[in-house]
Amino acid sequence: MNAQTRTDQLLTPEVLAWMTAQAAQGHSKEEIFNAMLAAGWHADAAAQAVQLTAEELAAVVVPALALPLTHNMVDAGDKWVEVLFFAQVPNVIVLGNLLGPSECEALIEAATPRLARSLTVDAKTGGEELNADRTSEGMFFRRGENPIVQQVEARIARIFGWPQENGEGLQVLRYGPGAEYKPHYDYFDPAEPGTPAILQRGGQRVATLIMYLHEPEEGGATVFPDIELRVEPRRGNAVFFSYPQALPSSRTLHGGEPVIVGEKWIATKWLRERLFT
């Protein structure tokens, strides 16, 4: 049997279809794993993939870079965006010049009057709560709320091949000196009692895009402890990561280091499995 050769290590529909067909033909997980290794898959990615059940195989499709690269650049339709970094396991992409200076300022200006202490999802009830691990101020735009939000959302949808309606509204956050967000996962923990209620609005989160609107003078990096990656906040740049399974094995633990001097402003876009209402 010949595995789907992948250089990006993503569970695309083609890869999932191949795995499903191999399982249906009676091939063991070990045989599928070995075939994937022979095709160039990273061992960690292959090991995660073969642990999926038949139902999970049918369900797992996540956002990914949907545009071809031209000298490490992608044509986002209204501008060219640079790919500064690409990790395979997990799928992490750092983009340069995703937003222009005027777009960053417009988002900050529109968000400022509505800032309030940031809340997190309460996994026990499905509601929201104050969390000592998150010491920022923030607000949410409604999806497509104004022209600048529409412009940014359309660009994101084109780059990652994910429908705009499958995304939550943009969240803008301000981190002042000392503010941070300790390492956490963005998916909703299936073991928590409040998760079923949360998933009714659009299914699981499957990817995150963090866009830097204003960079502090010092501090505020986005860190991924599991893969020892540190992304400095640079205005207009962004970091994207996807998580096919809502498990720590996704290796998407991440956090925002404390701001030391100045302010950090970011806009976060969470992508869901299906229509987010």
Q: What is the pLDDT of residues 170-187, one digit of tens each?
A: 999 999 999 999 999 999
**15-24, 94-103, 125-134, 185-194: which range is least confident on average?**
125-134
What is the 3-state secondary structure of the chain?
CCCCCCCCCCCCHHHHHHHHHHHHCCCCHHHHHHHHHHCCCCHHHHHHHHCCCHHHHHHCCCCCCCCCCECCEEECCCCEEEEEEEECCCCEEEEECCCCHHHHHHHHHHHHHHCEECCEECCCCCCEECCCCECCEEEECCCCCCHHHHHHHHHHHHHHCCCHHHECCCEEEEECCCCCEEEECCCCCCCCCCHHHHHCCCCCEEEEEEEEEECCCEECCEEEHHHCEEECCCCCCEEEEECCCCCHHHCCCEEECCEEECCEEEEEEEEECCCCC
Question: In the prediction, which pLDDT does 5 show?
Answer: 45
73-272 carries CATH number 2.60.120.620:
yes
Residue-level pLDDT at 132: 72
Per-residue pLDDT reduced to its tens digit, 130-189: 677 777 899 999 999 999 999 999 999 999 999 999 999 999 999 999 999 999 999 999
Predicted structure pTM score: 0.79
Range with the poorest average pLDDT among 113-117, 143-147, 258-262: 113-117
